[in-house]
Copies of this chain bind each other. A is one copy, B any other.
């Protein structure tokens, strides 16, 4: 057993600005190397253990591709149904077992908030939080920031709209904590009142300027980025409320055509109804580029974590 260390990546609350600067430099450097070579030797001989106890495609696969591209090996836990968890084994015992096989780094997703921290408390290997319920998803925030920096040159001074089911979104929570480390950033939380950002998220922000809005209509002109997340019908206690509001959270070409200046559109994906595919060909639609960036940012993160840099 070991205490969680600087090598664990659990929350963006405690990651300083300087960390991102080094990470994104590494990302650009790996990306350049991968233009001329398919698979690098950076992490030859290292093993990544992926443990996804909740469904995942993007996070799981982008970590897998990332590790293979930097020359490492991936051993996946497999679907939970095929595992001893189905026999009643505790989370702690399962994690301790995998850590005992001595992987060089562990990525874990579990629906319980705090589970990644719990794993880090147990494991000798560094643990990366791949999403712990509605709590955090720090590596998503990393690729979000990287995408913003690429598109705008700097994150300082950015005006960011976060729209959708903010109450249950680990993505927008982690991104909020991360943006708070930069200067002169404004966050506009755009959601119906029952799905607005949780008070404890806003309370832990110290640096960023915060505004709230019920729809994007009045704030979109001011934004550099409109970051959209899913708004699920089943989250509404009043079905009628959903019917009244859904139009305000579904973007398409026609709804955006009335604005002369538009922000970049981002989304952690998967999307369902909130972004119409007729937007995909627009130059402001950056969500697929964002997903691609994820692989490179995670490759850099794995390389730094395995080599003990923090």
List the interface of chain A (C-beta within 8 A of B): 37-39, 45-47, 52, 55-58, 60-62, 64-65, 68, 73, 75-79, 81-90, 92-94, 96-98, 100-104, 269-272, 277, 288, 291-292, 295
Do residues A288 and B38 form an inter-chain contact, with CB atoms below 8 A? no
Residue from the set A57, A79, A96 with the largest chain B CB neighbour count within 10 Å:
A57
3 closest residue pairs by CB, A with B: A89-B270, A100-B292, A57-B84
Query: Can you identify 8 A-B contacts, CB atoms within 8 angstroms?
Result: A38-B47, A56-B82, A57-B97, A58-B84, A60-B82, A65-B102, A89-B272, A92-B277
Copies in the complex: 3
Q: Which chain B positions have C-beta within 8 A of A61?
A: 75, 77, 97-98, 101
Selected from B85, B100, B102, B292, the residue in CB contact (under 8 A) with A101 is B292
Q: Which chain B positions have C-beta within 8 A of A75?
A: 61, 64-65, 68
Q: How far is the CB of A263 from chain B (nearest CB, A)?
A: 21
Selected from B56, B77, B83, B87, the residue in CB contact (under 8 A) with A272 is B87
Bound-state Cα–Cα, A269 to B85, Å: 11
Do residues A79 and B81 form an inter-chain contact, with CB atoms below 8 A? yes
Bound-state Cα–Cα, A85 to B271, Å: 10
A56 and B84 contact, Cβ closer than 8 Å, known pairs A62-B101, A64-B75, A89-B269: yes
Q: Which chain B positions have C-beta within 8 A of A57?
A: 77, 82-85, 89, 94, 97
Q: Which chain B positions have C-beta within 8 A of A271?
A: 89, 93
A65 and B272 contact, Cβ closer than 8 Å, known pairs A45-B39, A58-B84, A82-B79: no
Query: Who on chain B is nearest to A83 by CB?
Result: B57
Q: Which chain B positions have C-beta within 8 A of A97?
A: 57-58, 61, 269, 288, 291
Query: Who on chain B is nearest to A34 by CB?
Result: B102
Query: Who on chain B is nearest to A96 by CB?
Result: B288
Q: Which chain B positions have C-beta within 8 A of A77?
A: 57, 61
Do residues B295 and A101 form an inter-chain contact, with CB atoms below 8 A? yes
Q: How far is the CB of A105 from chain B (nearest CB, A)?
A: 12
Do residues B47 and A93 form an inter-chain contact, with CB atoms below 8 A? no
Do residues B79 and A65 form an inter-chain contact, with CB atoms below 8 A? no
Q: Which chain B positions have C-beta within 8 A of A46?
A: 38
Q: How far is the CB of A179 from chain B (nearest CB, A)?
A: 24
Bound-state Cα–Cα, A56 to B81, Å: 10
Bound-state Cα–Cα, A83 to B38, Å: 26
Selected from B76, B90, B98, B270, the residue in CB contact (under 8 A) with A84 is B270
Q: Which chain B positions have C-beta within 8 A of A104?
A: 38
Q: Which chain B positions have C-beta within 8 A of A78?
A: 60, 76, 79
Do residues A47 and B73 form an inter-chain contact, with CB atoms below 8 A? no
